[in-house]
Structures are given as structure tokens and as C-alpha cells.
Structure 1
Amino acid sequence: MTTRLSTAYSPCPNDTFVFHAWAHGLVPGDLAPEVTFADIDVTNGLAERGELDVLKISYAALPYVLDEYALLPCGGALGRGCGPLVLTGPDAPADPAALAGKTVAVPSERSTAYLLFRLWAAQAVPGGLGEIVVLPFHEIMPAVRDGKVDAGLVIHEARFTYQQYGLRSLADMGEAWEAATGLPIPLGAIIARRSLGPERLRGLAEAIRASVAHAWAHPADSREYVLAHAQEMDPAVADQHIALYVNDFTADLGPDGYAAVHGLLDRAAAAGLVPATAPGALDFPGAAAG
């Protein structure tokens, strides 16, 4: 008998590419998703309220939900060279210290992007930031271009399109993170209810890994699904997006992936930005014994 799991992930190309096969019954197993599409800020809130079975959330939100949800070892977004960017207008100073007292637009105060930005700014902007304004990510670049904010923290495909707005990159949060730690950048996590139990969690991880493998082996299968949800994104940009965010860490976090997650959450907790993570809280309950 098939078990239906209430599931939420974003309409971004990396998520639709990864989950297409699972969502369309193309992988083995008796677990199937009932999919809701929502931006990451919404899924973070759904997780904190414990409303769904399986979600894609920001790693920055993970410490707040680990009592109820387990981190899955696959399906998420980590990588190198894929960090958020701080953008400014073409005439703004190139020195990050000039952001002191300035207004910065961010996509969410509970996002990994904002957490990386705060860790970076604590060192790079000794005078302290000014007002932080939360905007939907697609509104940030126009706001910087139009002078409504002094700078913007951008994610996703904005890495490939910000020059079209006449903007420049002041700093790359991923480069700063990698230079400081040598670790990949943890961005988005896949979580599932602990109450599903080890056997179902293991089956869920197997289904997601199979979905990733299918996506890589048969990329044309997911094309219509990806573009249908890509918010009128140029197909070439969608391809760049997938190539950047779907990688070996998507198939399995592995030691480097787990080290990156621990590194981010431990540094953020030490800075008082997130609650401390209890020992063992990131361990996967569905891992095979022995």
C-alpha cells in the first residue's frame, strides 16, 4: 500500500529537477509525495509549525525544527561556488566597510543566505549594518537598481542575471565561507518527520536518491516539469541553475557535507545567531545499523 506524504519544495529548477521522478511515480518504493510548491521562506514557516511530512528548508532554520524533524542525507542543496551575493549599484563604493549604516534587502531573516551574510558582515562591516528589509528575492535587484535600498543579498538565478540590472557584486558569501572554512556551502536541507520511524525514513532517502539518479540519467524527462514551474525563467538560466545546485552532495551529503552543516550551525550558535544543536541531532535515524 502506498503511503502519501505531504511534501513542500520550491518551484526552483533544482528542486523540480531533483524531485520530478519521485513526484511522478518513476522510482521504486511505497512512499509518494503530495506536493505543495512554496518559496523557502514559506517552507521554513511550515516546518516550524510542524505542518507537513517532508520539506525543503534553509539550513539556517534547521536548529529550530530538529526536535520534530530529521535531516535527510540527500536531496538538498550544498556546493562550491554557489553562494549568495551582495549586490550594489555601479557607483557604490567597492569597500564592504561602506555598508556601515546602510539599508540592505534580504530574502528572509531565517534563510541560510542571511545567516552567511551576518557571519560575514560581523567581520567585513565593523561599523555595523543599518536597516534590514525583507523582500521576495525577485524584488531585490529592482530595489537596488532603483535606489530603494543601498544593497541587496541575492540567491538562486540572480547569480547569472544581476548584470542585466546594471548591478555589481560587492561580495560573494560563498567565497567568504569557503575561504574561512574550506567547506562547501550548505544552503537548503531536506527534512522529514521523525515520527515516520527509521524504516520509512530509510525508504524515503532511497526514493529521493533514486529520483536524483533518474534526473541525471534522463534529464529530458523532467524538462517540462522544470520549465512549467520556473516562473518564466530563460531555459538556459534554468540549466545553469540545475548545474550549480544539483551535484554529488544532492545524492549524498557525505562527510564533507555533514562537516559543512555542523560548521555553519556551530559558528552561528557561537555567534548567538541560532540555538545550539544538541549532540547527535543531525544524525540520520534511518541509517543502517552497524
Structure 2
Amino acid sequence: MKIAFSPCPNDTFVFHAWVHGLIPAAPKLDVTYADIDITNHLAASGTGLDVMKISYAALPWVLKEYALLPCGGALGRGCGPLLLTKEAGADPAALSGKRVAVPSERSTAYLLFRLWAAQHVPGGVGEIVVMPFHEIMPAVRDGRLDAGLVIHEARFTYTAYGLSQLVDLGSWWETDTGLPIPLGAIIARRSLDLKAIEAWTRASVEYAWAHPEASRSYVLSHAQEMAPEVAEAHINLYVNEFTADLGESGYGAIAALLGRAMREGLVPEFDLAALR
């Protein structure tokens, strides 16, 4: 079975057991490690693999061919994207007409940013520049861009680049809606045995929690230039009860985000019932 997910610690932690043949009856995995912007576009282009990690924001483009699995992904509280600038205490209005780097235009981070900017940046921002997330903070630090939207472990390391947080978009979303933040989704081709894939994914999550040290070398081998304590903090933040099962609150958060994005014209129209 062909699968694609990022080399980030939460994904390698979740899928370690399945990748290493530790889940009974689960098929052998052929793994592609790719940034989420790449997997978003692979899934939407029709050249995607059997199972993929994509952004929840990319779901409207792929739900005809792929189903959302209720486990394995990233959704939670206190784990949202940050908007960073070089200037401490900057006024959001100062972003009007400015250049902002984002990790993907089909990411939850981008949707949250656009929804927030519509309320707080008069006239809107200027140019949106898409780049791999690990390049964003150096670009803002060096003055090549006015602000950067960052995800993952950047929330633990941005001060080392001399950057300041303009807004925590996750906190904004939680305050605005009272809901958790939908980040990364696990999808599988509808033509496959979805119940079996769900069971294997959940078993891999449960194995990871039961044997946290088993995946350590695998996680760190893919977490390039990341200190072990940062990798652990990353896992603790993004792998939580929603990773085991979305539940009603998880599905509610996804429907709220994508429903609002549809009303703002940020994603294609689709039937929210297709999420289940």
C-alpha cells in the first residue's frame, strides 16, 4: 500500500508501528515523505497515493476520490499556526498591502489567516508567497518578506530567529468559535477497504502511545536539525485524543472551518455530509 505523510515528528510517531510491520495483518507500506503542500496537490491532481496526510483545508478538492479517516490526523487546542514579524508589538493593520509567506494556499493555516485578515487588516494583505515552511522564518528574519505564517515546531523555535508573534491564529480561532483547530487529515481512496485502513491506523496510534520509546530513533532520523526535546514537545502537542478518534467535536470543528471558508469563497462548494 502506498502512503504519503510528512517527516514531522507527529506523523512519524503515529505511523512508526505500521511502517515497521508491527501491526498484525496490516499490509506493507511504501512510504513517500513529503511536505503537506506537496501532498495537498498530489491528492487534488489525481496522482495521489492510497493513503495520504493532507491539510483539512484541502479536503473540498479531493472528497470525490478520497474519504476522511476518523483517526491518525492532527486536530487540537493550543496548537494553531502563528503569524510572525520582525517587529515586536506590530499592529495588524500594518500588514495592509505587505508581502506574507505561507506554507500552502490549501492549508488550514492559510484559511485561518485569510479569515483573520478579513477582520483585522484593512484593505487586505498584498502578495502571498508560498514556500516550504522551514524557509519562512529565515526569509522574514532577513527582511525578504514582511510576515510569515508558520506551523509545526516553529512555534517552539521562532524566537531564535529574532521574530515576534503578531497573532496566534489557533487562539484566535478557539476564542472566536470555542472549537478545536483542524490541521492535518488522513485520507484514503474510497475504492479501498476504509474500515480496515482505519483499524490499522488506529492500531498504529495506540502502539505509539503504548511504546513511546520504540519510535524515537525513527522520529529523530526524519526530524532534520530538530533537538529531541523539540520533537517530543511537537508530538505531545499534535498527537492527542483527536488523533485516536475525531468524535463529534472534531467533526464539528472541521465542518465549522470549511463551512465558513465556503461562505468566504476560499474553497469550492461541497456537501459537508461527505466529511463522514
TM over 0.5: same fold?
Answer: yes
CA contact (8 A) 1:265 1:276 kept: no
Deviation at 1:277, TM superposition (A): 2.2
Aligned residue for 1:269, secondary structure, equals helix
Which is further off, 25-34 or 221-230? 25-34
- Which stretch of structure 1 is more off in the superposition, 26-35 or 205-214? 26-35
Would you say how many aligned residue pairs link Structure 1 and Structure 2? Answer: 275
Deviations along 1:10-47, one digit per CA (max 9) or x if unpaired, are 00000000000011111123433211100001111111
Instruction: Measure, in 2, the Cα distance between the counterparts of 1:215 and 1:25.
Output: 13
- Pairwise CA distance, 1:280: 2.2
In structure 2, C-alpha distance between the alignment counterparts of 1:122 and 1:67, rounded to whole Å: 30
Q: 1:96 to 1:228 in 2, by over 3 A?
A: same
* Letter aligned with residue 224 of structure 1: S
Asked if the contact 1:29–1:203 (Cα under 8 Å) also holds between the matched residues in 2, the reply is no
Q: Does 1:153 align with 2:149?
A: yes
| Corresponding residue of 1:6 | 2
How far apart are 1:134 and its partner, in Å?
A: 1.2
Runs of 4+ in 1 over 6 A off after TM superposition: none
Shift of 1:227: 0.5
Q: Which residue of 1 aligns with 2:11?
A: 15
User: 2:214 aligns to what SS in structure 1?
Assistant: helix
Report the Cα offset of residue 243 of structure 1: 0.5
Q: Tell me, in whole angstroms, the C-alpha distance in 2 between the residues paired with 1:46 and 1:132.
A: 21
Paired residue type of 2:142:
D
**Any idea what SS the aligned residue of 1:219 has?**
coil
Query: 1:62/1:279 Cα in 2 relative to 1: closer, same or farther (>3 Å)?
Result: closer
Say which SS state the counterpart of residue 221 (structure 1) adopts.
Answer: coil
1:183 to 179, 183, 192: 179
| Cα-to-partner distance string for 1:140-181 (whole Å, 9 max, x where unaligned) | 111111111111101111000000011110001101111111
- Aligned-partner residue type, residue 251 of structure 2: Y
**What is the deviation of 1:49?**
2.1
**Matching residue within 59, 64, 73 for 1:62:** 59
1:131-150 equivalent positions in 2, closer than 5 A: 131-150=127-146
Name the residue aligned to 1:288.
none
> Aligned-residue CA RMSD in angstroms?
1.0
- Return the match for 1:216 from 209, 215, 234: 209
Task: Give distance in 1, aligned partners of 2:253 and 2:28.
Answer: 30
> 1:224-279 deviations in whole A, cap 9, x for unaligned?
11001111211110001000000000000000100011011000000000012214
Say whether 1:204 aligns with 2:197: yes
- 2:82 is aligned with 1:85: yes
Percent of aligned pairs with the same amino acid: 71
Amino acid at match of 1:156: H
Instruction: Answer yes or no: is the 8 Å Cα contact 2:53–2:73 preserved in 1.
Output: yes
Instruction: Return 5+ residue gaps in structure 2 as ranges.
Output: none
Which position in structure 2 is the counterpart of 1:286? Answer: none
TM-score (norm 2): 0.97
Q: Deviations over 1:87-122 (max 9, x none)?
A: 01135x522111111111111111111111001100
Equivalent in the alignment of 2:116: 120
Q: Secondary structure at the match of 1:21?
A: helix
